[in-house]
Amino acid sequence: ELKVEQNPLFLSMQEGKNYTIYCNYSTTSDRLYWYRQDPGKSLESLFVLLSNGAVKQEGRLMASLDTKARLSTLHITAAVHDLSATYFCAVLNYGGSQGNLIFGKGTKLSVKP
Amino acid sequence: DGGITQSPKYLFRKEGQNVTLSCEQNLNHDAMYWYRQDPGQGLRLIYYSQIVNDFQKGDIAEGYSVSREKKESFPLTVTSAQKNPTAFYLCASSIRQYSGNTIYFGEGSWLTVV
């Protein structure tokens, strides 16, 4: 069974600081997704990582994927308040009753002035 | 605009009632999914469908039922057999299952048992 672990689960940051969220998964997969969720809202797609070594950047967020280590990172550069949200990683699972996308529990990010 | 429409946004269910959540997409996607989210948790898959007239159980299908009679529609019924239905329900779709393409989510439906 594929398991996805994110850490930290809660993150309080000062504006202007850098930090990294980690996403580990337990079995082989080569597709990883990052989503953002604002309170009471749906999930917004941030990145789709499709191969080992993939790196994608959008604004202050950069995501990478190491399929050999089964690890993805979401790096936040010079955080601003607008980045406050919950961030989920999800791993594509090929087959089984779990379906195709297994989510981590999410990292709740709070950026303070 | 293309997207996924879920309705209703908020729904209250009495004990013993069945309720149906609607999900419609105009993205021409083959695959559709229903997820459940409990407070402070990630998403868990209830049912998914790869193509019209076909659907498969996810990890937590007990107490739920679905149909896929049209490509654009994938309604979810929460039956009285679901003992703890209060949650946030999200419908999603993608071009095909396992394609690695982006999976898009609807705005969600809040279900509360009263």
Q: What is the pLDDT of residue A49?
A: 92
Angle at CA of residue A24, ends A55 and A51, nearest 5°: 35
Please enumerate residues of B whose Cβ is less than 8 A from a Cβ of A.
31, 33, 40-45, 48, 56-59, 90, 97-98, 100-108
Cis peptide before A39 (omega within 30 of 0): no
Contacts 24+ apart (CB under 8 A), B67-72: B68/B32, B71/B28, B71/B30, B72/B24, B72/B25, B72/B26
Q: What is the pLDDT of residue B98?
A: 66
**pLDDT, tens digit (0-9, with 9 covering 90-100), for A6-32:** 999 999 999 999 999 999 999 888 789
Q: Are A12 and A112 in contact (CB under 8 A)?
A: yes
Averaged over A62-68, what is the pLDDT? 94
CA distance A96 to chain B (A): 8
Tokens of B96: 């095909």
**pLDDT, tens digit (0-9, with 9 covering 90-100), for B21-58:** 999 999 999 999 999 999 878 899 999 999 999 999 98
For all residues of chain B together, what is the average pLDDT? Answer: 91
- Asked if the Cβ–Cβ distance from B90 to A43 is below 8 Å, we say yes
**pLDDT, tens digit (0-9, with 9 covering 90-100), for B94-114:** 887 766 678 899 999 999 988
Q: What is the pLDDT of residue A32?
A: 92
